[in-house]
Amino acid sequence: MLSLPCTYFDLRVCEGVKVGLMDKIIREQTENYIKANDLLINLSSMNSEPLYEVVQYLLYSDLNKLNLYYIDSNKKIEKLNLDDKDHVGDFLEAIKQSIELGDRKDEILIYSDEESLKNFSTHTRSEILRFIKLRANYYFKRSDLLSFKPLEGILHLDASSDHRPSNTNKIIIELEERINELLDELRDKDSKIDHLLSYSSSDKSSTDNHLVKQLRIEVKEQQEEILALQSKLENSVDKDKKLNTKSQNYVAKIVLAMSEIAELSLDNPYASHDANTTNSILFDQIRKNGMKVSNQVIGNWLKLAAEQTKDD
């Protein structure tokens, strides 16, 4: 077969090697920028933190201080005017409110990819997807994120995309799936009952009357099962939150004890400008150990330790 030379109009493939004019630009943008949505996925999945907690933390940390960029379909990059509108804050607040208006369990679910959104309640899932689509072309500079102190130690941009935390909400998700199955069955039975009752009693056979009676018994039993499962679901959500809080308090008590032994003050947990503050001392030691924990996270734990009271 005659081998034709590469031409200007066929630059993408030449002897099996891609040499597209836009390839370099796309590669550089991928290396230098990250989508706002991918940032949420990274922080939630890589730290096994609920999406709700991630959004609250980013709002508290003033992520909106960072520049936000818009990359259009032609791959042109535009820095959004932050003085005009708080695009970052609006996006995070919209996600936060969507979760708060959903089911209680939505507040403890991890966001690892779009598939994981199926675990959220219908309203929350649809709202999150809507906001993600509206902000699909919004990006942060990776270098800005890496130098943003509140993200120090919790941002893992180089981690494998295959890494996912173990599903700590499996029982909750399974309970909800079973409830949804029962609700579908109930709707089907209600439809059958309506159909059997739709024609006059003179046309009904004894078999039909018996079937209606049997369906009603099954409906009542399934309604009772749904109520029991919903109660179990509520208890599971409460237990998950209580266990999380209980574990945090255990750690905080240990931090309090160790700080007293080391004679470290907990009066100003977030103070880190002075090298002699407890926060700075811990930050420097953690860094010497080859680890990363932000001053904000250290401050959170020191504050929680200072708030501990004697057990009853």
Sign of CA dihedral 117, 120, 121, 126: negative
**Which parts of 47-120 fold into alpha helices (H)?**
51-60, 87-100
Tell the burial category of 110 from Cβ atoms under 10 Å away from its Cβ (0-12, 13-18, 19+): buried
**pTM flag (> 0.85):** no
Q: Which helix (H) or strand (E) holds 79?
A: strand 77-79
Each of the 312 residues of the chain gets a pLDDT tens digit; together they read 334 444 433 434 444 445 466 677 777 777 889 999 999 999 988 888 889 989 999 998 889 889 889 888 788 888 886 556 788 888 899 999 999 888 877 888 888 888 888 888 888 899 999 988 888 889 999 999 999 998 988 888 765 444 444 444 556 666 666 777 777 777 787 787 777 777 655 555 666 677 778 878 887 887 787 777 777 766 666 655 554 555 677 778 888 888 888 888 888 888 877 788 898 899 888 888 888 777 777 888 888 888 887 775
Contact (Cβ atoms closer than 8 angstroms) between residue 170 and residue 110: no
Distances (CA, A) of 88 to 39, 97, 120: 12, 14, 23
* Dihedral of the alpha carbons of 228, 233, 239, 245, in degrees to the nearest 10: -150
Tokens 């700080």 identify what position?
259
Q: Which residues contact 53 (CB under 8 A, 6 or more apart)?
A: none
Predicted pLDDT of residue 8: 36
Q: Beta partners for 18?
A: 13
Distances (CA, A) of 75 to 70, 78, 89, 137: 9, 10, 24, 10
Phi, psi angles (nearest 5°) of residue 33: -130, 155
Distances (CA, A) of 23 to 15, 157, 158, 235: 17, 21, 21, 52
Q: Where are the beta strands (DSSP E) in 110-226?
A: 138-141
CA–CA dist 31, 142 (Å, integer): 8
Predicted pLDDT of residue 202: 55
Tokens 């607040």 identify what position?
93
